[in-house]
Amino acid sequence: MGEAMAQGLMSKKLLSSKSITVAEPRQERRKELEQKHRINVTANNREAAQTCKILVLSVKPQDLDGVLAGLKGVLQPDQMVMSIVAGARVSTISRGLAHSAIVRVMPNTPAQIGEGMSVWTATPSVRKDQLNQARIILQALGEELYVNDEKFLDMATAVSGTGPTYVFLVMEAMVDAAVHLGFPRHVAYRLVTETMRGSIIYAIKSGKHPAELRNMVTSPGGTSAAALYQLEKGSLRTVLSKAIWAAYERSKSLGEGKSPSSDINDINKAI
Ligand SMILES: NC(=O)c1ccc[n+]([C@@H]2O[C@H](COP(=O)([O-])OP(=O)(O)OC[C@H]3O[C@@H](n4cnc5c(N)ncnc54)[C@H](OP(=O)(O)O)[C@@H]3O)[C@@H](O)[C@H]2O)c1
């Protein structure tokens, strides 16, 4: 994700390669990044943090504590920190770094090709010009939405952050169903992905409510009506709603530092 962000900023000519420094522990990865993008690389997080205007935290959640501990007290008040680490609260980052200007972002996987949806918030210490810089950086990953309360990030984690997973599962199920009918897999894949792509663009461009678009193609006694009957009978809407709620609860527990097992027990009790 860090590489996607740097790539997006460079391809949109918002930053030159020489104004980006990546701190990366693995030597072969540093070499790869340096050769591919001509950016500065270092193995030393503190060295990168000391000289930058904006510090982007893009490590896995399990590596965050160690990284924060190593950077504690290094930053000056006028530097801004932008974290895309899933589930990491602003208070955790702020305490861990002893720094108050924090932007927290929930991106999603399509950001890796500049088609992402990022939801973000900032602490009151982030200046107006820094808010604009944060927005420009996130626009390099696709669309962005600022929210004024961190609670919306847990909700966004369940909807847009985890959202691609739901889409990929539906995509996979439709491809398998088309193969079941008799299409070769590559044909099934093309039919499904092009149908999904076209339907989404059509829904966005038409501005119509999804139910209206669906009703337009549901003729009395037709194929859509027969398929919709089975989808409703199988409780598709309820299952999706429960899945999104479970992701929301999980996101909140991750932020509180709870383990996955305690959370699964809670969910099992609730179902
Ligand atoms: N992938 C997504 O679409 C997505 C979506 C939403 C949120 N996020 C969040 O974005 C963050 C990054 O995810 P990712 O998928 O880009 O993970 P990733 O590919 O594993 O990238 C993490 C990077 O951090 C480096 N790293 C590990 N320990 C470090 C340390 N101590 N100091 C400095 N760098 C260190 C890793 O280096 P090595 O390769 O050498 O281990 C790796 O280059 C995660 O917190 C994730 O929750 C990702």
pLDDT at 264: 55
Q: What spacing in Å lies between the alpha carbon of 129 and ligand 1's midpoint? A: 27
Specify the residue with its C-alpha closest to ligand 1, atom 33. 24
State the pLDDT confidence band at 39, using cuts at 50, 70 and 90.
very high
Q: What spacing in Å lies between the alpha carbon of 218 and ligand 1's midpoint? A: 45
- Count of alpha carbons within 13 angstroms of residue 50, beta-carbon side: 7
Coil, strand or helix at 119: strand
Q: Best of 27, 58, 103, 250 to mutate for ligand 1, by most ligand atoms within 8 A of CB?
A: 58
Our separate counts of H helices and E strands in the chain read: 13, 7
| Token pair 């090709």 in the structure block, residue | 113
Q: Which residues make beta-bridge pairs with 145?
A: 119
Specify the residue with its C-alpha closest to ligand 1, atom 24. 59
Average pLDDT, the chain: 94
Which atom of ligand 1 lies closest to the CA of 29? 40
Q: What is the pLDDT of residues 180-195, one digit of tens each?
A: 999 999 999 999 999 9
Q: What is the pLDDT of residues 128-168, one digit of tens each?
A: 999 999 999 999 889 999 999 999 999 999 999 999 999 99
Q: Best of 5, 21, 22, 24 to mutate for ligand 1, by most ligand atoms within 8 A of CB?
A: 24
Specify the residue with its C-alpha closest to ligand 1, atom 14. 1
pLDDT at 268: 57
CA distance 159 to 117: 10
Instruction: Examine the pLDDT at 267 and tell me if it is beyond 90.
Output: no
Q: Which residues make beta-bridge pairs with 102?
A: 81
Length of the chain: 271
Q: Does residue 26 line the site of ligand 1, with CB under 6 A?
A: yes
CA distances from 218 to 122, 175, 192, 214 (A): 45, 22, 19, 6
- Note if the pTM is more than 0.85: yes
Q: Does residue 23 line the site of ligand 1, with CB under 6 A?
A: yes
Which atom of ligand 1 lies closest to the CA of 26? 40
Q: Which residues make beta-bridge pairs with 110?
A: none
The better pLDDT of the pair 228, 258 is held by: 228
CA distance 271 to 258: 19
Q: What is the pLDDT of residues 65-87, one digit of tens each?
A: 999 999 999 999 999 999 999 88
Specify the residue with its C-alpha closest to ligand 1, atom 22. 59
Q: What spacing in Å lies between the alpha carbon of 148 and ligand 1's midpoint? A: 26
Q: What spacing in Å lies between the alpha carbon of 2 and ligand 1's midpoint? A: 7
Q: Which H or E run includes 91?
A: helix 90-97
